[in-house]
Amino acid sequence: MYLLLSHMAYKEGSEIDGEWLKSAIRAQKDPLTGKRATFRSTMTAMGIVNSDLFTEFAGGRAHINLETLAKVARLYPTMNMRFVLTGQGDPITTP
């Protein structure tokens, strides 16, 4: 059973490890500051006000919907989405 929210759905037993997204984001540069990206800087750049979105996902307590993952991919063109979804490969790829 899912509880759908604006950017995520809560469900137990996720097969996608949220730590993969965390690692992939940290491997990126923040588009606003040029420093290493964080969950907070990513959400700010995406206009997301729910501060728990990525933290809940990384902790295995939520799923992020495809629309949100697509926004992340557009924000960071060098992010390897295969790494985000499977943990395979490097967090960064060349565009």
In order along its 95 residues, the chain shows pLDDT tens digits of: 333 344 443 344 447 788 898 899 999 999 889 999 998 899 888 888 766 777 787 777 777 888 889 999 999 999 999 999 889 999 998 75
Cβ neighbours of residue 12 closer than 8 Å, sequence gap 6 or more: none
Give the CATH class of 3-83: mainly alpha
Over its C-alpha atoms, the chain yields an Rg (Å, rounded) of 13
List the chain domain ranges.
Answer: 3-83
**Phi, psi values for residue 36, rounded to 5°:** -60, 135
pTM of the model: 0.76
Residue 91: the pLDDT is 94
Q: Is 81 helix (H, G, I), strand (E, B) or coil?
A: helix
First to last CA, the chain: 37
Helix count and strand count (H, E) for the chain = 5, 3
Which residue in this structure is represented by tokens 């949100």? 68
